[in-house]
Amino acid sequence: MRALLSLLAGALFGAGLLISGMTDTTKVQGWLDVFGAWDPTLAFVMGGAILPMLVAWRLTSGRTPIAGGQFPTKAAPELDRRLILGSVSFGMGWGLAGLCPGPAIASVTYGGFGGVVFLLAMIAGMCAAPALGAQLDRAAKAA
């Protein structure tokens, strides 16, 4: 049951990315080009994701998921160096390539060699992040 629900959720997410244009790198870069040829349509995509999630957080409080387990608790807002560096790295990659993790995985099916290279670079960055974070923590403590 859990695998089927995961498959359905993933398929729905992928279809949403495709239909909304989040897999179109030029559309994403147009959204980020605020002082140039700005394309505001992705604001509706983000609103269409954020608003239902706000309702979902309210409705799931004290409930159990259909597939068992527990809903994740809301993370405490903590603004630290790691969050800022991660956000900046994510934003740079998103702006340069026009892809974030979900669309990057989808791009393997249509993005050709460039999509594969981006996905491999993203995975390498994810693997290197813990070691880099630990090194930054050690450097901060030494300073």
Q: pLDDT of 11-53, one tens digit each? A: 888 888 888 877 888 888 888 888 888 888 888 888 888 888 8
Residues 124-137 have a mean pLDDT of 87
Has residue 75 got a pLDDT over 80? no
Residue 66 has pLDDT above 80, yes or no: no
- Residue 123, pLDDT > 80, answer yes
List C-alpha distances in Å: 56 to 4, 9, 98: 21, 15, 28
Dig out the tokens for 133 from the structure. 């974070």
Can you give the pTM of this predicted structure? 0.65
Which tokens hold the place of 94?
A: 């998103």
55: DSSP letter = H
Q: Is the confidence at residue 72, as pLDDT, over 80?
A: no
**Residues 44 and 128: beta-carbon distance below 8 Å:** no
- Which helix (H) or strand (E) element contains residue 142? helix 112-142
Distance CA 42, CA 103 (A): 14
pLDDT at 62 over 80: no
Q: What is the pLDDT of residue 8?
A: 92
| Choice between 26 and 61, residue whose per-residue pLDDT is larger | 26
